Amino acid sequence: MDWDNLGFGIMPADYMYTTKCSKDGSFEQGRLSRYGNVELSPSAGVLNYGQASSNPASAFDSISKLKLLMILKGLYEGTKAYRKEDGRLLLFRPDQNAIRMRMGADRLCMPCPSIDQFVDAVKGVALANKRWVPPPGKGTLYIRPLLMGSGPVLGLAPAPEYTFLVYASPVGNYFKEGLAPLSVYIEEEFHRASRGGAGGVKSITNYAPVRNVSNTTGCRLAKLCVGNVISTPAANGTILQGVTRRSVIEIARDHGYQVEERAIPVEELVDADEVFCTGTAVGVAPVGSITYQNRRVEYKIRAESVTQELYSTLEGIKMGLIEDKKAGSLRSNRASFHPQMH
């Protein structure tokens, strides 16, 4: 492998994990198999309705509910495996991804694997594909868990079968320039999410244009720095509760910054000292400019910045160079799993 030129694209690793939900709502024992195509019926729930409510009659209570059911296309997570200098592999808080998937599945009325089953599946995929984990500093193994209604259904009703699968791909930096500043454009015409919708769960509909300071494509959301204060939109149902987002907030507070979670008008961007985004793929990414209503606001990128400080700490924790003192981290980084190959 040419690890030095590894981009952020799909390069399938050897094995993936698959399990299906039985009729009683529990998932069977999963298995690892060679990476390959997934066979679906043309009438699979995920292809036709995304996912339907467990109470079909409720779908017709209002036009808004019916529209909501028709646009949801899938539920997924994203996490990474890191290689240490001594060759060991580390995962960053996969139990938090498992909890978020359960929250999303509950919102979309879908059954979901247990937290232990989710974490074991992620660990199993990481270990089975350990030869695909890049050397330290060269990249990571990106792991993608998926949950979908795979059973055939014609009417607006729950799918008779659900599939949970996990696959992986080695990746480099999400952006070719690494930590180079991003250019952000604020969409005014189209709304990404609204109160009462599914903006707070990780469905693929969350990766769409946004209007105000909110989620961005490829990143979670924007954070504004003014002096010692970091402001970020609150996760109130329209903002995804990102694992990286919460981790960065914890790190910022540990470093002495005051963090505010509140509504942020676009006009406040003009007065910010710096702006950055967070996400599993990008970690912490600085924003170099934001374009809004034909006006371009640029930010000075400094070598010693809040963005760089938080990025370095976050990556240090992920790589095991800095102790992770937060709850759940020991479970995420220490436990091992030895899967059975099929």
How far is Cα 135 from Cα 183, in angstroms, rounded to an integer?
A: 30
Our answer to whether residue 202 is catalytic in this structure is: yes
Active-site residue, from 202, 223, 325, 326: 202
Contact 91/127 with Cβ under 8 angstroms?
no
CA distance 32 to 120: 11
Which residues are catalytic, by number?
A: 202
